[in-house]
Amino acid sequence: MARPEIPPSLRAQMDGPAYLGPATFCKVVGITEEEELERWRPDVAVIGAPYDDSTTYRPGARFGPRAVRVANYQIPEWHLDLEVAPFEELVVVDYGDAVCPPGDVLRAHQAVYERVSQVARRGIVPAVIGGDHSITLPSATAVADAVGRGRLGVVHFDAHADTAAESFGNPLSHGTPMRRLIESGAVPGRNFVQIGLRGYWPPREVFEWMRDQGMRWHLMEEIWRLGIAEVVRRAVAEAMDGPELIYISVDIDVLDPGFAPGTGTPEPGGLSPVDLLRAIRQVALRTKVVGMDVVEVAPANDPAELTAQNANRCFMELLSALAAKRRQGQRLAALREPVEARRDR
């Protein structure tokens, strides 16, 4: 079945300047209905998870999905380092938002779980825009359930470990999702790898719990000493030590607040975008990424849209790496073909 035609006026708006037309992610086709996933057969579906009632400091990440979708001055055409046109190689759709009711964490998380499930169980990669970090619990659980529990490792970029037992009495806080994912068995503790931790939280006993689970983590201190390339190389090996599939979770506060002021719990001394974007690229090139989220973008505290732009480019690194791998696969197939044809003669 051929993919649907885009009507001419919509096509003209999508091909026009970035600031006009539908406010989907980088102006890709926007769809709303589950059956449209069947007709479009996308490689990647962007989903908004606009929920932020689990934050513990500055709120506002519920406005993140809208901001991140449009935080680009043009539609990305050509990745200069990877030499690939992501939107030519891949079919990407914007599958709208999970309908998260404010103030109801259970229903909000259920909505995220269901929408991500609809995508992940069709073998489509969900690219989820938060929302606070609590949404990683339903999102990564949906991906783990789709691919099979135990088959999924997580690479988690964050200033914070988010492995507390509870926060102000809330077990579904943005400070607890990684603990819930491990406790539930959705992700094995030893394949949960964290990059960029720093500052003054969580307390010592939480790190003891993490050690007991076999979790691995890489502090900013280690990145400062070894450099990001070596740390990513180690993190990939740890995350893939068993599982064959990876979920990437990016809390934008892994960036230094100078680059990402628009976030709920900024912690000085973080990564630069130069390093984060390459780190995501390397993880996506070296593993099979089956889901990703970027969370904690709070536009009200984001002068000059720096934070939203960085989040937008995090997704673009994933898309570009997936595109580069597909093109490489096609080249290899083309190279193999004549050899097999020769063998047949």
Packing angle between helix 228-239 and helix 273-286, nearest 10 degrees?
30
Instruction: Write the CB contacts of 151 (distance below 8 Å, at least 6 apart in sequence).
Output: 144, 243, 244, 245
Q: Which of 251, 256, 293, 317 binds Mn ion (CB under 5 A)?
A: 251
Element (H, E) at 308: helix 306-344
Residue 280 to residues 91, 146, 185, 240, 316, Cα–Cα distance (Å) = 20, 22, 25, 15, 10
State the amino acid at position 14 in one-letter form: M
Nearest residue (CB) to Mn ion, 30 versus 257:
257
Element (H, E) at 33: none
Please state the closest distance from residue 56 (CB atom) to Mn ion, in A: 10
Nearest residue (CB) to Mn ion, 158 versus 275:
158
Q: Which of 43, 52, 238, 253 binds Mn ion (CB under 5 A)?
A: 253
Nearest residue (CB) to Mn ion, 79 versus 198:
198
**Rounded Cα distance, 227 and 233, in Å:** 10
Residues 179-198 that bind Mn ion (CB under 5 A): none
Nearest residue (CB) to Mn ion, 162 versus 317:
162
Place of tokens 């593993």: 287
Nearest residue (CB) to Mn ion, 29 versus 250:
250
Taking CB under 5 A as the binding criterion, the range among 70-78, 128-136, 199-207, 228-236 that sits at the site for Mn ion is 128-136
Please state the closest distance from residue 179 (CB atom) to Mn ion, in A: 12
Please state the closest distance from residue 251 (CB atom) to Mn ion, in A: 3
Please state the closest distance from residue 85 (CB atom) to Mn ion, in A: 32
**Rounded Cα distance, 318 and 337, in Å:** 29
Number of residues that bind Mn ion (CB under 5 A): 7
For the purposes of burial, counting CB atoms within 10 Å of the CB of 214, is it exposed (0-12), middle (13-18) or buried (19 or more)? middle
Nearest residue (CB) to Mn ion, 30 versus 266:
266
Please state the closest distance from residue 159 (CB atom) to Mn ion, in A: 5
Residue 162 engages Mn ion in binding (rule: CB under 5 A):
yes
**Rounded Cα distance, 115 and 129, in Å:** 12
Residue 293 engages Mn ion in binding (rule: CB under 5 A):
no
What length is written for the chain?
Answer: 345
Query: Helix, strand, coil proportions of the chain in percent (round to 5)?
Result: 45, 15, 35
Residues 132-161 that bind Mn ion (CB under 5 A): 133, 158-160
Please state the closest distance from residue 195 (CB atom) to Mn ion, in A: 12
**Rounded Cα distance, 246 and 140, in Å:** 10
Please state the closest distance from residue 175 (CB atom) to Mn ion, in A: 7
Nearest residue (CB) to Mn ion, 48 versus 257:
257
Please state the closest distance from residue 194 (CB atom) to Mn ion, in A: 10
Nearest residue (CB) to Mn ion, 24 versus 141:
141
Residues near Mn ion (CB under 5 A): 133, 158-160, 162, 251, 253
